[in-house]
Structure 1
Amino acid sequence: MRGMAAADPARPSLRERKKAKTRAAIRKATYRIAAEHGWEAATTERIAEAAEVSPSTVVRYFPVREDILLTDEDDELLEARLRARPAAEEPLESLRAVVVEAVRTALAEEPEETRLRARLMVEIPAVRARLGETTATTGRRLARALADRTGRGADDLEVRIFTAAALGALREATVLWAEHGRTEDLLVLLNRTVDTLKTGLTPPAHP
């Protein structure tokens, strides 16, 4: 109708933007409390007070408390970027490209949060256990993209094994980084991980 602007399908709705703002506030409050007082102090009630929302809102957005640390809205973006990689590119190289870029962005934009999350992942068993579940969820999403790229079904054994092995290896590199005090270059470790998956385990070179 004349005088009315056409809706932009790519722009999130006001409701979606409000939800994203609330999720971000809950995350920010959680990281602040965990950094200053430890993970056990980051109770639902304390998070809610710091984020200026109700405890029921925290639970509604994050039914599992550990998910505040481990989940975000990046899975959809990862899938889109994976689908956008060159069709002729090896699947493992495509995964390398999208995961390394996502980690590079996180380290640049949220360095303290990224390092805190890695530390808690090592120190808190519940966070470490939940990481495995969230990685599996991400894996199922990326498996769909890889299946489409390779002409297979998302539930094919080969697709599931490939995706789970690659993401599990990249997760283990992050765990090692955290265990070593986050002093090494995580991007280098991730690239080494992919190289190891490609070449296998070989004896170290001797001078």
Structure 2
Amino acid sequence: MKTLITIISLSAVITGTSAAAMSDADDACIDHLRGVGGPDGQSGTIESSEFSEAGTLVMLRDAGGTLWRCIAYSDGAIGDFAAVEAMDDGGGAMAGADGATQTQRVAFDAGTTGAELTGTLAPGATRQYVLGAANEQYLFVRVAPRNGTLDYVIRNPDGSELLGLMNAGQEYRGQLWQSGDHVVEVINRSNALVEYNVIFGIE
């Protein structure tokens, strides 16, 4: 498998565009993929790179086979980044692939009552965070997208809804009435890849 770095110069030759003109946009897309693409995003190939004054369209295929669409500018800024053909190799490398649901148990460090996690969701994907908590404890949830929009739902241990579909712009703080594993499901209903932080607290 050729690395992303190796493919940059080949793309420049194939398209007839100078490597200098392409390098900032391509490098920006590669760096962004490495940051959000999980283990598979650390290597792969550039499928195509189309330069224009309005921005360079770069199509990247990561090591797991997922095709990413990236629009970048000559100054290295990213205008748009999304998975357009998601694949999952079965090892969870493509967390947040289209239509996929990932599950993650939340653990607090000793002596603390909260945790902050980061994540990335592809269009149509969801991630379920599982938190053990007891009846009459208070749960705090804040979902903070760094770009785009997200929604979330909170479910009781018996599967009933503690909180119906809520926009990420609204925090939740409420008293629990069941003991066991509560599930906070973060949902990307948009058509773009969304990076986010999520904060949990139980008291």
TM-score (norm 1): 0.25
Query: More strand by proportion, 1 or 2?
Result: 2
TM-score (norm 2): 0.25
Query: More helix by proportion, 1 or 2?
Result: 1
